[in-house]
Structures are given as C-alpha cells and as structure tokens.
Amino acid sequence: MKQIAVLASGRGSNLEAILEAERRGELSGQVVLVISDRRDALALEKAERAGVKALFLDPEDYDGRESYDQALIDQLKSAGIGLVVLAGFMRLLSPLFVRSFPQQILNIHPSLLPAFPGTDGVEQAFAHGVKVTGCTVHFVDEGLDSGPIILQEAVPVIQRETVRTLQERIHGAEHRLYPTAIDLFCRDRLKVEGRRCYIIE
C-alpha cells in the first residue's frame, strides 16, 4: 500500500475528501503525513483529528525556496512517501523538489487545463464569460500547471452565477475527482507517454 503525504496551506477541504474516501475503503493508499507552510492551517487540525501526523514547516526558518524544499524532501523521504498530493499548497515547488519525486506528485486545479492556469483559475474563467469550466487533476512537472492531465470534470456555468457559487460547485467536483485519481495512481493504473496519461484497464 502506497504511503501518501498531503501538502496543504489552507482549510483542507480536499484533504478532508481524501481522508473520507480512505475511511470508506475507496483509496488504495494511506495518508500518513500532512505538512503545511502555515501554522494556522485548518488542514493540520483535520489531519490530527483523523489520527494523521501533522507537521508545520515554517518557511521563515529556511534560507530560500530550495532550502525549504530540501527540508520537505527530507521529511517525505524519511516517511517512505510514495505519492505527494498537493491540496491547496500555496508555494511553488522548486525543480529540486519535482525531480526528487518524478511523476509522484499530483495537483488539482480549478479549471479545465490548459485553460486558466496559475492562481485565480475560477476568477479567470468567470471573467472570460465561459459557459463551461471545471477542475483538472494532473501530474506536477517543472512548469506552471503544465504536467500530464490525469482526470477532468466539467462544471457548467449557470445563469446568474457568482464567483463564489461557481467556486463552491467546482470544489464539489474536486472532492469527487481527486480521490479517484489518487486511487488510480495507488493501484498503478496510470501510464504517462509524453503529454498523455492513460488509464490502464
């Protein structure tokens, strides 16, 4: 069974969905570590309540991004982590980190990539007046939201939508999609060829 670490900076709603999927027996892996770059992140509290080791690593204690990322790498390697899951982790990972876990880092983004990468994906889509947006689970590479796409779910933009209601509905899709993608990874059912990620039947 693969050991999973979740990196989170905020309230941890995707972490909660992942932990719930694990409790229901829908995840062929085990979340054993949650790390945050923010002391007050609710994700840490949720991890502790679930009996998962929760760790705050303060960026202020390190001299730059690579130094911090090396500390992250050391923690993950010592825990025997086979999959790193980003769940609202608000730091850009250095090439050093990405190369330490090749095709072992997943991220979820609130748009149908490659449309609207980067921060504020929901706001960007809303401002462009799109009729359909959604969320994307992808492997992390050294680019910005540019790794091979694993799964996507479309979310239609309804009449009289607001950014907030759209965000809430996309979050609902994320909570369904992310555990599914993690389970596929843990069961060795993902194969990457170039830019394409195939699901092995």
- At 172, is the pLDDT very low, low, confident or very high (cuts 50, 70, 90)? very high
Tell me what the mean pLDDT of segment 58-73 comes to: 95
Average confidence score pLDDT of the chain:
97
Catalytic residue among 109, 138, 171, 175: 109
For the entire predicted model, the pTM comes to 0.96
Active site residue 109: yes
Q: Which pLDDT belongs to residue 171?
A: 97
User: CATH code for 2-199?
Assistant: 3.40.50.170
Domain chopping of the chain, boundaries: 2-199
- At 31, is the pLDDT very low, low, confident or very high (cuts 50, 70, 90)? very high
Cross-strand pairs, 107? 86, 138
Tell me what the mean pLDDT of segment 55-66 comes to: 95
Q: Which pLDDT belongs to residue 79?
A: 97
Tell me what the mean pLDDT of segment 140-144 comes to: 94
Q: Which pLDDT belongs to residue 137?
A: 98
